[in-house]
Structure 1
Amino acid sequence: MQYIAHFRETDKAIHELSVHLLDVAAKCDEYGSRIGIGKIARLAGVLHDMGKFSDEFQDYIRSKMNTPMQDNQEEPLSKIDHGKIGALYIFNKFHDSCSVSEKILSEILAMVISYHHGGLNDFITMDCQVPLLNRLKPENLDTQYYTCINRFFDIVCSEKDIDSLFSEACNELNNIMRKVKTERLSVSFTLHLLIKHLYSIVIDCDRLDTYLFMEGIEELPCLDTSDLWKNYLMRLEDKINELKAKPTNTILEERIKKLRLKVSDECADFAQRERGIYLLTVPTGGGKTFSSLRFALKHAIKHGMKKIIYVLPFTTIIEQNASEVRNVLNCADNLLEHHCNVIQTEHEKYKLLVQRWDCPIIFTTMVQFLNTFFESGTVSIRRFHQLDNSILIFDEIQALPIKCISLFNDTINYLNKICHCTIVLSSATQPNLSEVVRPIMISDSPNIISTPSKLFTEFKRMNVIPRLIEGGYTVDTVVDFVYNLKARYNSVLVILNTKKAAEKIYKVAEERNEGNINIYYLSTNLCPAHRKKVISEIKDKLKSNEHIICISTQLIEAGVDISFETVIRSLAGLDSVAQASGRGNRHGEGEIKETYIINVRDEVLKNLKEIELGQKHTRTILHEYSNNPEKFDNDLLSPAAILQYYKYYYSDSEISTQMDYYCKEINEKLYSILSGQKQKEMAYEDLTGKQYPFQLLHMFRTAADNFRVIDDNTRTVLVPYGEGRRIITDLLGSKSLSEKLECLKELQQYAVNIFESQFRLLEEKRAFVNSPIDGVLILKDGFYHSKLGVIEESNMELLLYE
């Protein structure tokens, strides 16, 4: 009799269960072997669908084969619990062992197999429930269970084969845990990552094998990256030679060009180092993108590495940098962008790339990177194992959220020590992540640039001048300060900490404008398409040397390649002051210019604690600098000043206590519950009067359900800006679901995230259109301003879309 794993709807071809199990097992072994868990992964792979040998499942799938799907009919979800059989077998067979490692391995395999659909569960929950134990009850050892294991051993492999495989797997677990201890990694947290790594392998191999069958493909094509890297390096070297030959207009501009080339050469030389965790500390505008790419390509060639992954904090930087790299390398589909602004498609090949990250060069966000390890479900974690043997470059690493530092640091240590990755932490304001409570294990002699302090001195294009006053500047006195500077310079950039303050200052500045100055406002109240247009206009005006004042929030500080003659920065963390300065005199267009730090009275920071604390510690540095500038190499933006700032900032109890990701909803730190809390074992025994049944205590599901890289207390609103107005009209008139979804994809560039308080205010003013799709908010025309974006008072009598 044929036992079916899947069938193909188009031609009713059968995917035999034994073939599926053995193919998945082989794929799992291949991927697992990369980090020394090939036999553990093979064992999980061969047992994962053992439950499909049941009469119940076979009757169910044969019934589906014989029932034609109707148009638009949703495929019913299988109610057949096929995951628990393999888990039951491995747990009952090996968990009573006297060996602790055999107990742990059987628990790991039972968890991974049992929940290979739907995401890993908790070993123990907050209220001391043990979900896996319920799936492993003795009463589940019924006729169907024995039917499944008998058929499995008749057709797939022998019980002796499984015993031998388990023994080899146990040796692997012992070996990798010895390595964990030798490398001084956090044992329990690293074990949680290892379980997720295994889970990633199993679900990816299962889904990939099913995909290949459904598409009628033997295997996916395998790309030879060794030749690819060599070709890309030649194209990059051509670009560098082109930059060398580019003429300059000033002595300072020529010096900056030579320094950028020097940075590039140092990165190229450093590529000969062994795999490790390294620091690339380069001033803003120092050419980090191409220099780090040069390092990565040469390092990949030397060590036979398979992927280069850029992780950045903002989609605007990704779009800009990915476009530059794609153009220089001419790499087309060999570069994948994975972030929220990429229009998703239904094309199976694209969906597979996004789900698997099976592409040589990837540009993604810190959100997507961290979701790979900590988000709920199975979509993000599937790509975990694809990071093996990769080079990961974290640009603007100072933007890492404080609450994620411990999770990030120990994950990076795991990727380096266990997964053979090289990691580069890149920033002009390098945070000392190696000196926090749970540090990154930076390699010996980690600086890619041999003398960062000297480089910063040579690269200097802006002086930072504090202009703090008692009581702070009012809106009017800020505008006075701006116009006084404008009398001396053609272009002035003003960066504020809040949208409210930026809007108020913009309005007063515009009121005083006699018409000869172009005044711009930038904040996230403008949709991405609007911001892109404004930035493009500003760049054109700067090139033609027109008179400009730009008043912005901090969104302009990272990744926007723009250059003003002078900058005013509202008091913030010293890292933000440095990033703001990077938008001034960026290419050394003239003599050294100034960044002024001012304190603004009208900024309300009660919900922006990190900025408030940044202000506090920047004040400390400013005070120390005034007394002893030599301590900071006579530069407030020197690596010495930044390092001292981070020492104060990270040691502040209001910051350091947040690094383990405290979650107030459950009153726990996610780092702790992912490491397994011994007190939970005692709580279970106190509650039930029984001994806790497992060795492991990790709370995978609870942590995942409460994990958000960015606190999601905003709502997305579609706005009638530019082409967005037409697309909204199409959305409102669309009939089918597919048409609506297509419109929503196009509208990603015309969306603004607003806080709940702003949403409620707009809702009271009836500012939203009745939407044809539940949960989709559409702003009426009068509440989107051509300069300010989303506003809270209508600016026109006639409202469209009533």
Structure 2
Amino acid sequence: MFVAHIRESDLKEQSVSDHLREVQLISEQIGEKIGIAHITGLAGMLHDMGKFSDAFQTYLREAVANPEQPPKRGSVDHSTAGGKFLMEGYHQRYTLLMECIANAIYSHHGQLKDMVTADGTSPFWERKDYRDDLEYEKVKERFFREMYTATYMDEYIGKAVQEFNLFIQNLGKKYIDISFGKSEIRVTMTLLTKYIFSALLDADRTNTRQFEDNEQVEKPYNVRSLFSDFDKRLEEHLQKFKQQDSQNEIMSLRQRMSDMCEEKALLSTGIYTLSIPTGGGKTLASLRFALKHALAHKKERIIYVVPFTTIIEQNANEVRRILHADDYVLEHHSNVIEQEKNDAESLSYEDYQRNKRLKIAKDNWDAPIIFTTMVQFLDTFYQGKSRNTRRLHNLSNSIVIFDEVQSVPIKCISLFNEALNFLTNVANTTAILCTATQPALEYVQKKIKIQGELIDDLPTITKAFKRTNIVNKLKPDGWQTVEIAEFVKEKLSEVDSVLIILNTKTVVKKLYHELENANVKIVHLSTSMCAAHRKVILEDVRKDLKNGEKIVCVSTQLIEAGVDVSFECVIRSLAGLDSIAQAAGRCNRHGEVASRYVYVINHAEEYLKMLQTIAAGAEKSKYILIDIEKDPLLFEGEILSAAAMSNYFQNFYEEFKSYLNYPTKVGVDIYEMLFGENIDFVEEYGNAPFWMHSSFETAAKYFNVIDSKTHAVLVPYGEGKEMIAEIESSRIIQDLSQFIRKAQQYTVNVFDQDLRTLINNSQLEKVDFGYASIYIAKEGAYDEQYGMNYEGEAKLGMLMI
């Protein structure tokens, strides 16, 4: 028997033919979702064809016989043969299809190969050269003997070709009202290759795990039954709220918008906007739409994509509570700490299985409801690591709800739009763009097609929901910190709570100092504090606001990210119109009174040279403020109207149009590397014998949703102190992955220059474990008022807020 795997626990063997057939079956099921069962099935049946070689069989036996000194992992190539089989026998007839499938097979133990590189090579084309032609002929003969005949393979590939031709025809129909040509095919084939790769990765990893764990194939969720139950529970919850809050105008408006979402649930698959005003209950309104849309169109999962991890926990907990869905809501983001709950002795069998299933689901997003971040979503498409790409196929036949969609980084706009186009045009997925400040993604060059808005008569709703008046307080020479402090004190004679949001940590700290003698409780918030620290402060702030205490909060824009607080007065330093709208959402949030004031100022002491997008957004907002002052009827006289917001984003994207395709230091942007002709790289290569030009691996190398120019520093706050003590005492971390996840609540991201300052002041230590290293802050480097202190003068002690 030719062996694919040998189980470690009992040395049971899985044959190559069994593994290939089982992976083929799973791959077909994944491909069937978008009508390409035989295409993905082909990748599954051929991916480990090379394991029929003598070299691999010897390698596997030696690994088991000599566990102390096994042969080097991956030293025997078993993933070339299947791709070579397709390229050698079928590439000339079915060029594009074979390139997509062969690349997935070649790459299933790493990243998709570059078709061309900057230095004029083609890792993809070179991969077809099998190291031993005689061995390859033997592999083919064994495959035909143990698996399928040549006739069967021709017929199966014929079916894959039929699927591909139908796929292209249907795609043309999707694009019938806009251009559909070579460029659209390039985009789609690049992402189709990623889908095939995702299907193969998940099928291969799933089958291997099931064999290694000696598990039966798991029954899939009965999603239709689950969603039906969830829908009933949500309706019961909303009915209770409707009865309790019928006299509250804000609650009535929320109910009205929620009802509109329910009515629109029968709409066809596509991209829709949901422009519920800030504080309008978009989480539950979008969930209401999603559950009913899923039932109407047989969608398989609902995925919430949120910009910041700080928002996820509260939203996920709310959904779990309302739907009674603890077992079916998966959180997947960097702050999740996996507790060791798989101890069968301390858990019931049902709980053990439930926890295990959710843990496994993190690998491929196989759960009915998922909460994740924009970083994780974009990484699924554009980060080359197999653990990211593996889950891509489970975005198909789903509903993806993007919360605060305007937060997509400017450099990722085109890549984000193409991901959405693929999901809706190819993968049968509905996308909901949720925000009060729609970012006009249909007006950029690489645009999306929006089917419509879920809220009817949006201008009327927005006006009815209006809870604040935006006041232009811009000065020709800007505001000094002293002047802002005096203005805050003046407002405190009228109201009990004031929130000031500034654009940089430096001026936030300076204003906090200036207000210390204001004879009122002052709170400071910035990203110089670790997440756990900010959470404690915000909980305290909420209590004070609820109790009507006099309080002033001075913060960076982090408080705009879905933080549920309601101040009586907000002062916002000039920024993008979307940021001003988010700031306004922290004022009179629940309609406590008819209206409150949000003052927009221009801070003279803010240094924005390194914050280009904030500076440009502020400039665009300033012109709109001035224009409305000149013509009160412009944009319906509302700076935060949909018309004003659309105008703002169109002008903003126009200024940054050269950044929208994700530029790189090699002079070719990622969009061109993946979706374009990639001329620069192709010319370096010469006469390319392949149609696809995508540089998958190079693009992944340069792709980061958030520029990683910072270093994570573990700080001595709360449990962070204990973690630092553990490091300093033992210099050993037993479970590094769990330690890192937990540490993220107690870390601060520090820029290079500040890191050097801390090191020079002896406030920082780098601890090296051999397999990893971590920066830890000394006690004097972290302050309970300000967070990280770069001058080494922090004072630990009572929480002085």
Q: TM-score by structure 1 length? A: 0.94
Inter-partner Cα distance in structure 1 for 2:222 and 2:269: 21
Tell me the SS of whatever aligns to 2:327.
helix
Q: Paired residue for 1:378? A: 386
Q: Paired residue for 1:629? A: 632
Q: Paired residue for 1:720? A: 716
Inter-partner Cα distance in structure 2 for 1:770 and 1:633: 56
Q: Paired residue for 1:60? A: 59
The answer to whether the aligner puts 1:5 opposite 2:8 as a matched pair is no
Inter-partner Cα distance in structure 1 for 2:523 and 2:298: 48
Q: Deviation per CA, 1:221-277, whole angstroms, max 9, x where unpaired?
A: 2111111111111111121122123258xx7xx111110111111111111111111
Contact 2:245 2:251 in 1 (8 A): no
Q: Paired residue for 1:669? A: 669
Inter-partner Cα distance in structure 2 for 1:694 and 1:309: 36
Tell me the SS of whatever aligns to 1:271.
helix
Tell me the SS of whatever aligns to 2:238.
helix
Q: Paired residue for 2:349? A: none
Q: Paired residue for 2:140? A: 149
The answer to whether the aligner puts 1:118 opposite 2:110 as a matched pair is yes
Inter-partner Cα distance in structure 1 for 2:735 and 2:314: 30
Q: Paired residue for 2:262? A: 268
Q: Paired residue for 1:752? A: 748
Deviation at 1:182, TM superposition (A): 2.8
Q: How does 1:274-673 map to 2 (within 5 A)?
A: 274-344=268-338, 349-443=357-451, 446-510=452-516, 512-514=517-519, 517-652=520-655, 655-663=656-664, 665-673=665-673
Deviation at 1:140, TM superposition (A): 3.6
Inter-partner Cα distance in structure 1 for 2:767 and 2:682: 52
Query: Which amino acid in 2 is paired with 1:634?
Result: G
Deviation at 1:113, TM superposition (A): 1.1
Inter-partner Cα distance in structure 2 for 1:178 and 1:449: 33
Query: Which amino acid in 1 is paired with 2:707?
Result: D
Deviation at 1:633, TM superposition (A): 2.1
Deviation at 1:762, TM superposition (A): 1.0
Inter-partner Cα distance in structure 1 for 2:400 and 2:625: 35
Q: Paired residue for 1:161? A: 152
Inter-partner Cα distance in structure 1 for 2:304 and 2:592: 29
* Among candidates 791, 794, 799, match of residue 793 of structure 1: 791
Inter-partner Cα distance in structure 2 for 1:316 and 1:74: 45
Tell me the SS of whatever aligns to 1:11.
coil
Tell me the SS of whatever aligns to 1:521.
strand
Inter-partner Cα distance in structure 2 for 1:209 and 1:628: 66
Q: Paired residue for 1:103? A: 95
Q: Deviation per CA, 1:510-556, whole angstroms, max 9, x where unpaired?
A: 1x223xx1100111111011000000000000011000000000000
Tell me the SS of whatever aligns to 1:164.
helix
Deviation at 1:741, TM superposition (A): 5.3
Deviation at 1:330, TM superposition (A): 1.2
Tell me the SS of whatever aligns to 1:435.
coil
Q: Deviation per CA, 1:437-473, whole angstroms, max 9, x where unpaired?
A: 1111111xx1100111111100011000010011111
Query: Which amino acid in 2 is paired with 1:160?
Result: T
CA, structure 1 residues 682+758, in 2 after alignment: closer, same or farther (shift >3 Å)?
A: closer
The answer to whether the aligner puts 1:134 opposite 2:130 as a matched pair is no
CA, structure 1 residues 462+709, in 2 after alignment: closer, same or farther (shift >3 Å)?
A: same
Query: Which amino acid in 2 is paired with 1:298?
Result: K
Inter-partner Cα distance in structure 1 for 2:508 and 2:766: 31
Inter-partner Cα distance in structure 2 for 1:336 and 1:296: 16
Contact 2:502 2:508 in 1 (8 A): yes
Inter-partner Cα distance in structure 2 for 1:692 and 1:759: 47
Tell me the SS of whatever aligns to 2:513.
helix
Inter-partner Cα distance in structure 1 for 2:245 and 2:173: 53
Inter-partner Cα distance in structure 2 for 1:733 and 1:772: 14
Inter-partner Cα distance in structure 1 for 2:99 and 2:278: 49
CA, structure 1 residues 449+330, in 2 after alignment: closer, same or farther (shift >3 Å)?
A: same
Contact 2:62 2:71 in 1 (8 A): no
Tell me the SS of whatever aligns to 1:776.
strand
The answer to whether the aligner puts 1:180 opposite 2:176 as a matched pair is no
Tell me the SS of whatever aligns to 1:127.
coil
CA, structure 1 residues 695+569, in 2 after alignment: closer, same or farther (shift >3 Å)?
A: same
Q: Deviation per CA, 1:528-586, whole angstroms, max 9, x where unpaired?
A: 11000000000000011000000000000121010000100000011110000000000
Tell me the SS of whatever aligns to 2:734.
helix
Inter-partner Cα distance in structure 2 for 1:18 and 1:486: 76
Inter-partner Cα distance in structure 2 for 1:796 and 1:156: 69
Inter-partner Cα distance in structure 1 for 2:230 and 2:438: 29
Inter-partner Cα distance in structure 1 for 2:74 and 2:661: 38
Inter-partner Cα distance in structure 1 for 2:245 and 2:393: 46
Consecutive unaligned residues of structure 1, counting only runs of 5 or more, are none
Tell me the SS of whatever aligns to 1:433.
coil
Q: Deviation per CA, 1:662-719, whole angstroms, max 9, x where unpaired?
A: 11x2111111110142524761465xxxx32212111000100100001111100000
Q: Paired residue for 1:19? A: 18
CA, structure 1 residues 448+770, in 2 after alignment: closer, same or farther (shift >3 Å)?
A: closer
CA, structure 1 residues 289+146, in 2 after alignment: closer, same or farther (shift >3 Å)?
A: same
Query: Which amino acid in 2 is paired with 1:164?
Result: E
Tell me the SS of whatever aligns to 2:637.
coil
Inter-partner Cα distance in structure 2 for 1:173 and 1:659: 31
Q: Paired residue for 1:709? A: 705
Deviation at 1:491, TM superposition (A): 0.1
Query: Which amino acid in 2 is paired with 1:657?
Result: S
Contact 1:728 1:743 in 2 (8 A): no
Contact 1:731 1:744 in 2 (8 A): no
Inter-partner Cα distance in structure 2 for 1:75 and 1:522: 54
CA, structure 1 residues 206+303, in 2 after alignment: closer, same or farther (shift >3 Å)?
A: same
Query: Which amino acid in 2 is paired with 1:666?
Result: V
Contact 1:685 1:692 in 2 (8 A): yes
Q: Paired residue for 2:347? A: none
Deviation at 1:755, TM superposition (A): 1.1
Contact 2:83 2:103 in 1 (8 A): yes
Inter-partner Cα distance in structure 1 for 2:635 and 2:30: 48
Contact 1:731 1:740 in 2 (8 A): no
Deviation at 1:735, TM superposition (A): 6.0
Q: Paired residue for 1:213? A: 211
CA, structure 1 residues 629+794, in 2 after alignment: closer, same or farther (shift >3 Å)?
A: same
Q: Could you tell which deviates more after superposition, 207-216 or 102-111? A: 102-111
Deviation at 1:350, TM superposition (A): 4.4
Query: Which amino acid in 2 is paired with 1:586?
Result: R
CA, structure 1 residues 176+798, in 2 after alignment: closer, same or farther (shift >3 Å)?
A: closer
Tell me the SS of whatever aligns to 2:387.
coil
Q: Could you tell which deviates more after superposition, 171-180 or 398-407? A: 171-180
RMSD of Structure 2 on Structure 1 (CA)? 1.8
Q: Paired residue for 2:725? A: 729
Q: TM-score by structure 2 length? A: 0.94
CA, structure 1 residues 376+740, in 2 after alignment: closer, same or farther (shift >3 Å)?
A: closer
Consecutive unaligned residues of structure 2, counting only runs of 5 or more, are 343-355
Contact 1:128 1:680 in 2 (8 A): no
Inter-partner Cα distance in structure 1 for 2:214 and 2:537: 49
Contact 1:345 1:351 in 2 (8 A): no
Tell me the SS of whatever aligns to 2:587.
coil
Query: Which amino acid in 2 is paired with 1:656?
Result: K
**Percent of residue pairs bearing the same amino acid type:** 39
Deviation at 1:25, TM superposition (A): 0.9
CA, structure 1 residues 383+75, in 2 after alignment: closer, same or farther (shift >3 Å)?
A: farther
Inter-partner Cα distance in structure 2 for 1:796 and 1:338: 35
Deviation at 1:196, TM superposition (A): 0.4
